[in-house]
Amino acid sequence: MPQFDTHFFSSLIFWEVLSFGILLWILYKFALPPILEGLETRERKIRESIEQAEQNRTSAEQRLQEYEKKLQGAAQEAEGILNEARQKAQRLFEENEQRIRSETERIKEETTQDIDRERRRALQEVRGQTADLALLIAEKVLSRSLADEDHTRLAKEALDAVSAQQPKVGGKE
């Protein structure tokens, strides 16, 4: 086998040791430490990032729960406020209705009283005028000497005039 040709052993061993030595030295001095360090840094960063993310998630969940609780509270509060407003409106409405009803009642009462008073006054007036007319008729009958037919006729006329006047007064009521 060509591999057992001792002629090349010395050069192979020499160059192998030298090449390997150079490789080892450069790797040891310049290449490996930064790569190892980089790997470790990355591992640490990833671990930290995962931990951080976990923390963020936990706190976000907590905050979400808080907000949900707050939201629920706010909804309840709004419901309460709405209910109160509704009740207040109802109460105001009822109060207004009551007031309007009593006011109406009062106005009606007053109006009735006014009408009654006016009617009584009008009746009084009519009575006064009737008396005046009776006196007038009596005067006319006495002051003139008239035939019986005339008396009767005149008296009839006077009574007609009175009765014609009376319904006019009563119609005003």
Partner 1 sequence: MDNPLHPFELHPLVPLSLFGLDISINKAVLVMWIVVALVLILFIRARSSGSLIPTKLQSLAEMLVDFIRGIIEDTMGKDGMRYFPLISALFLFILFCNLVGLIPGSYTVTSQLVVTGVFAVSVYALSVIIGFSVHGAKFLGVLVPPGTPGWLIPLMIPIELISQLARPISLAVRLFANMTAGHVILGVLFGLTIAGGVLIGWLPFAFTVALYALELGIAFIQAYIFTVLTCVYMGDAIHPH
Among the listed ranges 28-36, 50-58, 92-100, 153-161, the one in contact with partner 1 (CB under 8 A) is 28-36
Q: Residue 21 CB, nearest distance to partner 1 (Å)?
A: 9
Note whether 31 binds partner 1 by CB under 8 A: yes
The number of beta carbons lying within 10 Å of the beta carbon of residue 130 is: 15
82-121 residues in contact with partner 1 (CB under 8 A) are: none
Do you know the residue count of the chain? 173
The conformation of residue 144, written as its DSSP 8-state character, comes to: S
Note whether 53 binds partner 1 by CB under 8 A: no
Burial code (b: 16+ CB inside 10 Å, e: under 16) for 18-57 equals eeeeeeeeeeeeeeeeeeeeeeeeeeeeeeeeeeeeeeee
Residues that bind partner 1 (CB under 8 A): 1-5, 7-17, 19-20, 22-24, 26-28, 30-32, 34-36, 38-39, 41-42, 45
